[in-house]
Amino acid sequence: MTTSRVTSKSAASGAPKRAGRAVALSAVAEPDDDSRNIVNSLAKGFRVLEAFTAERSELTLTEVGALANLDPGTAFRMLNTLVMLGYVSRVPDSRRFRLTLKVTDLGLHAIGRADLRETARPILRSMVGELNEAASLGVLDGSDVLYIDRVRAGLTRMGVDIRIGTTIPAYCSAIGQAILAYLPPAELARLLALPPRAGHLPTKPMSKEEIKRDLADVRAHGYALRDSYFGSGLRVLSAPVLDIDNYPVAAVSVAAPAVRMPAKEFKARALEPVLRAAKDIARAIQASGTVSATA
């Protein structure tokens, strides 16, 4: 996971202490193929958590065991442990289980971007109120975009199920391209060389040459305007949130169904609000005392 360049005031004041601890832990943090250094039960527990998705929000014991490749007895013990710890709950009047919001809290604490969400949310809400569409805030997570906030106009249904915590390859999304286009060349090359994670991939494969042409276009214009590469029928306009060093700490986007929003009309309506929102979030980050640190 890419370390965020945005931290709170308290994080800045406590940095020396945590930095020393990070150095102390680094000796044991490196991945090792030696099975003696792996806690198998912990790995099994994470496989249970990963069995739940947006499409499979509730699962039975049998389904969890099959998806996590665990025998029924192990799956039962793992689920009971996760229920006790508060990460999984039993669905009332059924034999099904679901994740709790404690999982979301853990993820947000791990990525350290709660302050960014709190700063951006009022601005996203204002933009949605103005455009009556759906707005998102995303950051880089390795070579993926991680959606850390999303605001929709009322009960608007979009053509793709993007939620807080959703990740998709950065190179094939407007919000991802808005970030990638402003990365230093060496960092961009490193991220584009990473293999894609298993999961959703675009319906339109892209070569590195096509990706670089898209990013050059984004850099030249200051925003990304794309029809979704996932066949969802969405049209998306995104702009980067740049820190004082012109580094992209995040990106903001607005999406609308392409069938009712021609590209020219969408750009005319959405470009100025999206650019303004990106600048407002950047100013709010600086005003709140957040600092930038090298990733």
Give the CA distances from residue 145 to residues 11, 84, 86, 238, in Å, rounded to whole numbers and listed in that order. 23, 32, 28, 13
> In whole numbers, what is the pLDDT of the chain averaged over residues?
78
| Higher pLDDT, residue 20 or 113 | 113
Task: Select the CATH number that applies to the domain covering 31-100 from these four: 3.30.70.3040, 3.20.20.150, 3.40.50.970, 1.10.10.10.
Answer: 1.10.10.10
Q: What is the mean pLDDT of residues 198-203?
A: 59
Which residue pairs from 189-197 have beta carbons closer than 8 angstroms and sit at least 24 positions apart in sequence? 191/140, 191/142, 191/143, 192/143, 194/142, 194/143, 196/143, 196/169, 197/142, 197/143, 197/144, 197/167, 197/169
pLDDT of residue 10: 39
Domain(s) labelled CATH 3.30.450.40 in the chain stretch across 113-287
Identify the pLDDT of residue 221.
95
Q: Enter the CATH code of domain 113-287.
A: 3.30.450.40
Q: What is the pLDDT of residues 155-176, one digit of tens each?
A: 455 445 577 888 888 988 899 9
* pLDDT higher than 60, residue 2: no
| Phi/psi at 265 (5° precision) | -65, -40
Region 114-120: what's the mean pLDDT?
Answer: 75
Nearest residue to 64 (alpha-carbon basis) of 43, 84, 54, 50: 50
C-alpha closest to that of 172 among 215, 223, 142: 215
Of the chain, the percentage scoring pLDDT greater than 90 comes to 35
- The predicted pLDDT at position 3 comes to 44
Residue for token digits 């609000």?
273
Residue 221 phi, psi (nearest 5): -100, -20
Conformational region of residue 36, where left means phi above 0, alpha means psi within -120 to 50, and beta covers everything else: alpha
CA dist 52 and 64 (Å) reads 8
Q: How many alpha carbons fall within 13 Å on the CB side of residue 61?
A: 15
Of 22-31, 56-65, 133-142, minimum mean pLDDT range: 22-31
Note the pLDDT tens digit of each residue in 39-89. Answer: 888 899 999 999 998 788 899 999 999 999 999 999 999 999 999 998 999
- Which residue ranges does the chain devote to CATH 1.10.10.10? 31-100
Which has more confidence, 114 or 10? 114
